[in-house]
Amino acid sequence: MTGAYLSAAQLRSRMVLAARWIVAEHWPADDGRCPVCRVPDCLAIASAHAYLDATGTPHLPRGRRS
Ligand SMILES: [Zn+2]
């Protein structure tokens, strides 16, 4: 791990990338359930949305609409 040597901006950038990846992976399927966690209320995507909201980052997967 090189995390201790990253600047705050670099850490934020990596966190945003990870959160966007989580949003894409955990986006609800047609049945409304998370395809990874298999639950209707996925904590992973909720946490990722909260982080992206807090950082003012757009976070809908490409081609998706809310
Ligand atoms: Zn999930």
9 Cβ contact list (under 8 Å, min separation 6)? none
- Residue spans per domain, the chain: 8-54
Whole-model pTM? 0.78
Alpha carbon of 64 to ligand 1 centroid (Å): 17
Structure tokens at 37: 């966690």
Decide which of 57 and 29 is more confident: 29
Q: What is the pLDDT of residue 1?
A: 56
Alpha carbon of 58 to ligand 1 centroid (Å): 19
The string of DSSP letters for 3-64 reads GGGS-HHHHHHHHHHHHHHHHHHT---TTSS-TTT-SSS-HHHHHHHHHHHHTT---PPTT-
Alpha carbon of 29 to ligand 1 centroid (Å): 10
Q: pLDDT tens digits for 2-53?
A: 557 899 999 999 999 999 999 999 999 999 999 999 999 999 999 999 999 9
Question: CA gyration radius for the chain?
Answer: 13
